[in-house]
Structure 1
Amino acid sequence: MTDDGTLKPSTAYVLDEQVGYLLRLANQRHATIFQTHAVDGLTPTQFTALVRLAEHGKCSQNQLGRYAAMDIATIKGVVDRLRGKGLVQTEASQQDRRRSLVSLTPAGQDLVQDLYHAGEAITDETLAPLSPAEQRNFIKLLRKLG
C-alpha cells in the first residue's frame, strides 16, 4: 500500500486498457444516445423485438427470443410490455395450443419505419468519432466477438 492509502498494483494491469471496461464505457455512451432518439419510450430490448418481428413476421415467443438474443424470461416480459402498448398481439398456435405466437399489430407495423430511421441515427451518432473505414472495421470486429 502506498502512503496515500491506494494499493500498489503488483502487475501491469491497467483498467483503462481492459476490454470489459472499454465496452462498458462505449455501451454507456450508446445507451445515452439511444435514449435521445428513443421512439415512443421504447427500451433497446423492445426496439429489437419489434424490428425482429418486422423482419421475420409472426413467430413463436421462444423463436422471437432467439432472433432477438434474449432468454425466455426476458422475451416474455418484453412481449408483455409491447402488448400493453398495443404494438404486438399474441395468439395460441393452431398446431400447439401451449405455444404463443407473436405478431405486430397495425400500430406496431406503422411504428417500424420510425424505428429504422431512429436506429440509423443512433448508429451514426454512436460511430461518429470513427472514420468510415474504422466504422466498418469496428462492426466487423463486433460481429466476430458476438
Structure 2
Amino acid sequence: MDTPPPYRLSEQVGFLMRVANQRHTALFAERMIEGLTPPQFATLAKLREIGPCSQNRLGRLIFLDAATIKGVVDRLSGRGFVITADDPNDRRRRAVGLTTRGHSVADAAIEVARDISEATLEKLSPREKKQVVDLLRKLG
C-alpha cells in the first residue's frame, strides 16, 4: 500500500493563494488612491465599465452580497463618487451611477490598479501572467 507524500503546507494551493493574495492586498493598500478599499474600487471600476445599473445587479457582478454592496454604495455616495436613485421601473430597486467626480476617481484608480496588478505579477513572464489570469478565471 502506497503511503501518501508528507503534507507540506508550503506546497498547498490554499496556502499559496493566501500568500499571493496577502502580497497583492498589501500592494493595493499601499498604492491605491483616495483610500479606496478593494470592494469600493471594484464598484467604481464596474460602474465605469457598464454604466449605471441596479444596486443588486452591481453586487452580483462584483460578487458582493446585498448587505455588503449597500454599505459600499452608501460610503461611496457619502464621498460624492456615486449617486443613487429609485429605479423608475421598480421602486424596490436602487439605481447606482457614477458622479462626474466618481468618473474621474474611477479613471485614475483604474490606472493605479493596472500598476498594482503589474507589481503583483512582476516575477512572471508575459506568458505566465496570462496563464495565471486564465487559471484564476477558471477556478472562479
TM tier relative to shorter chain: over 0.9
Distance of 1:44 and 1:51 partners within structure 2: 10
Listed as ranges, the matches of 1:20-99 within 5 Å are 20-99=14-93
| 2:54–2:95 CA contact under 8 A, matched in 1 | yes
Runs of 4+ in 1 over 4 A off after TM superposition: none
Identity over the aligned pairs, expressed in percent? 49
Given residue 33 of structure 2, which amino acid in structure 1 is its aligned partner? V
Distance of 1:113 and 1:104 partners within structure 2: 11
The CA deviation string for residues 79-131 of structure 1, in whole angstroms up to 9 with x for no partner, is 01101111001000111111110000111011122012101100110000111
Given residue 141 of structure 1, which amino acid in structure 2 is its aligned partner? L
Tell me the equivalent position of 2:101.
107
The CA deviation string for residues 17-60 of structure 1, in whole angstroms up to 9 with x for no partner, is 11111111000000011112111000000000000011111111
Distance of 1:18 and 1:73 partners within structure 2: 32
Count of residue correspondences: 137
* Higher Rg: 1
Superposed CA RMSD in Å reads 1.2
TM-score scaled by length of structure 1: 0.90
| Greater RCO, 1 or 2 (C-alpha within 8 Å, sep 6+) | 2
Partner SS state of residue 97, structure 1: strand
Distance of 1:99 and 1:36 partners within structure 2: 35
**Structure 2 residue runs without a partner (length 5+):** none
Distance of 2:104 and 2:56 partners within structure 1: 24
Q: Give the Å deviation of 1:67.
A: 1.3
Q: Which has the higher helix share?
A: 2
Alignment pair present for 1:13 and 2:7: yes
Alignment pair present for 1:136 and 2:130: yes
